[in-house]
Structure 1
């Protein structure tokens, strides 16, 4: 009986300290901070100004990570032509990706139809048009059914992509919101 109790306690202890999903992927420590325009590298300011002339309500963030994936990127949060948007840059001004946030009425019809066709019981709540560093456009669509949430990925033709087949640029921004 004593052996069984020890074995059970060992399993409970192992389960309590186990990491869900195996080894942690990605950075060990993330840092997000608001930065003023004057604190930005000149290359980042220049690339943003030439890519998004006329952008308003610009707010800047510095995202950095140390660990398995060490990086620093600058993120601009802004409005362009009435659409909430984000753009991400390396310190040298190289564009990483940009996103435009749409409500369900503003999503391209082929994307919205594709999202609804596979899961008709879900309601499309909105989505993002993501342009990657190589200029390709993808969509991340958010849908709900009661408390259940669904995220789907599509290419610009409305073909659904699994999360593991979607480009890293498209999946990476998943925790960002368009505010």
Structure 2
């Protein structure tokens, strides 16, 4: 009986939360469609006064944050080494010899474009930050637990 009541409560909660999601404002959707014409698998979430679109564009997983007035606030893209700008990749390869790029998170907002990069080698994962001109800083280094 407890399981039945708990299950019913859970279903009602999910139904109310799904119904409470506001649609994307016309201005936010217009901005998104202008900027990301080739976006696939678009999913929207409402985070207060902003809307986040999760999508894929040219095979790159991306996220765009747009306010209700249609202003683009930030974009985040997730990709590998091949999509890094050449000057950033050069700086990384020069400073972190023997390590390969495991993954990149690119964050673009009013402060510019910054990269959060995970490098790996046989012994460790290295997390670094880089800016658009190739300056890097070490954030953390972890011993690999999968070896």
Counterparts of 1:1-179 in structure 2 under 5 Å?
A: 39-64=23-48, 72-120=49-97, 122-133=99-110, 136-145=112-121, 148-160=124-136
SS in 2 for 1:53: coil
For 1:24, the equivalent position in structure 2 comes to none
Structure 2: state its 5+ residue gaps.
1-16, 140-147
SS in 1 for 2:107: strand
**Misfit runs of 4+, over 6 Å:** none
How many residues are matched? 122
Cα offset, 1:96, TM superposition: 1.0
Cα offset, 1:90, TM superposition: 2.1
Cα offset, 1:100, TM superposition: 2.5
Using the alignment, how far apart are the partners of 1:127 and 1:109 within structure 2?
14
Contact in 2 for aligned 1:95/1:133 (Cα 8 Å)? no
Contact in 1 for aligned 2:118/2:127 (Cα 8 Å)? yes
SS in 2 for 1:40: coil
TM-score, length of structure 2 as denominator length: 0.65
For 1:21, the equivalent position in structure 2 comes to none
TM-score, length of structure 1 as denominator length: 0.55
Contact in 2 for aligned 1:34/1:62 (Cα 8 Å)? no
Residues 159 and 94 (structure 1), Cα distance of their counterparts in 2 relative to 1, 3 Å cut: same
SS in 1 for 2:37: coil
Using the alignment, how far apart are the partners of 1:145 and 1:96 within structure 2?
35
